[in-house]
Amino acid sequence: MNLPSPREGSRVARFGAIAFACCLVIGVAYPANTRAQTTPTPVPSAATPWPAPTGLRLEQSVQVTSPDGSFVPSAQRQATSSLTWDAVPGFAGPYVLERARAAYGATGPRQWEGFATVTGTWFVEEPYPFLDLLAFQRCYRVATALDGLAGAFSTEVCTVAPPTSAPEPSAEPSFNYDVVREVVVPLFGNDGRTHYVTLSQDTAGVVRVRLSLFDFTPLTYNIVLFRRGDCSQTANYGPEDVIRPNVSFTVDSVALVVQFFNTGSITLTAGPKSIYDADGTSLAVYRPGSGGTGLLAACAVLAGPPGAPDTGTGPAGPSGVRPRYRDKGAVVAAAMLATAAGLFAMHRRARRPT
C-alpha cells in the first residue's frame, strides 16, 4: 500500500481545509441572502388595529399604437390603471382594493365595490376600454384585510380624462391621413422615463409628428427639430442646425398626453428633406424657455448618422435598471464541483509510488 508522504499529506489537508471553508462561506451566505428576501415579517395578533396604507399612487396609460407602429383605432384601444402603495410595516396579510366608477363631474356619494385582493405585493393593474376612460372616472382605495374584514382605507386616487388636442394652427399644412410611411422612435426623458414619437407621412409629403408623453410634469414646453441626430450635443447646436423651432404645447395633466403637429420641413422618404441624411435628425423637448435656452426635458434621435436604418430608431437610452444576477445555485454548484475535482486530483497524485 502506497501512502502519501507527510509533506504531500499536509498539502492535501491544507487544500481540503481551504476548500471546505470556501464552500461553507458560500453555502451560508447564499441561504442567508435568500432568507432575507423571502422571510415575511411576523403578523401581530388580529386584535391589533392596522393603520390605513399610505402612498397610494395611480398611473394611467393608453395603448395608442400597435407593435408594428400603426395607430390603434379609438374603439379598440385599451386603458390601464396601475396602482402602487407603501407596505404597512409589519403587516404580511392581504390587501383589498375597492373601485368606484361614475361619470366625470358626478356629485353623488361614491359607490365602492371590491375588485382585487392581493397578498405579498403592493402593485395592481386594471385594464379597461379606452372609451370607458373617456366617459367615466374611476377612483381607487386600498386597505389591509384580516379574517375577511377590511381595515381603514387609504386616501383615494382617481383617473382624469385624457386632454383633447387643440385644432391645428392654420399655418400648418393639412394632413390627408393617407399614410404612405410611419415610424415610431423612443423619446427619452431626463427623468428616466421613455416616451414615444410617431412620424407619419401622407401622400402629399406632409409629416405628422405625434408625441405620446407619460406623466410629463404640467408645464408649457417647446419642441425643436434639429438637422443633426445626436441628443448629447443639443446644447451646442446653433440656429443653422434648427429645422423647425419652438412648437409650443402645454401639459395640464400627469396622465397620458398626446400632442401632435404637422410639418413639411422633413420627410420619411428619400429627398432633400429626408431625416435619413448624413447628419441624421433629432427632436428635443424643452422646459419653459425659448428654443435651446430652456432646460432639456426629453430628446429623440429620429435618425442617427451615419447610414441611419430605415426604422429611424435611435440609440438605446439609459434604463436605470440594475443588472440582475440569477442562477446563484448554479454558480455554487460549479464551485463545489471544481473543488471536488481538485481534491480528487491531489489525492491520486499523493498515492502514486515514488
Binned at pLDDT 50, 70 and 90, residue 308 comes out as very low
Binned at pLDDT 50, 70 and 90, residue 24 comes out as very low
**Each residue of 31-85: pLDDT tens digit?**
433 333 333 444 444 434 789 999 999 988 877 666 655 567 777 888 889 899 9
How distant is the alpha carbon of residue 16 from its chain centre? 48
Contacts of 328 (CB under 8 A, 6+ apart): 30, 33
Instruction: Give the per-residue pLDDT at 131.
Output: 86
Helix (H/G/I), strand (E/B), else coil: 57: strand
CA distance 300 to 285: 9
CB 140 within 8 A of CB 113: no
Phi, psi of 32 (to 5 degrees): -65, -40
Please, what is the average pLDDT of the chain?
A: 74
Q: Angle of helix 6-38 relative to helix 328-351, nearest 10 degrees?
A: 170
**Each residue of 197-249: pLDDT tens digit?**
999 999 899 999 999 888 888 888 888 899 888 888 888 888 888 888 778 88
CB hemisphere CA count around 155 (13 angstroms):
6
Query: Does the pTM exceed 0.75?
Result: no
Q: What percent of the chain has pLDDT over 70?
A: 64
CA dist 319 to 77, 190, 294, 322, Å?
A: 27, 11, 24, 9
CA distance 342 to 20: 12
CB 79 within 8 A of CB 130: yes
Amino acid occupying residue 84? T
CB 129 within 8 A of CB 114: no
Quick one: 319 exposed, middle or buried, by C-beta within 10 A (0-12, 13-18, 19+)? exposed
CA distance 144 to 95: 5
Q: Determine how β-strand 179-189 pairs with β-strand 220-226.
A: unpaired
For residue 231, give the DSSP letter: G
**Each residue of 137-170: pLDDT tens digit?**
999 999 999 888 888 999 999 998 765 444 444 4
CA distance 171 to 160: 31
> Among all chains, which residue has been given the C-alpha cell 394652427?
169
Cell of 117: 385582493
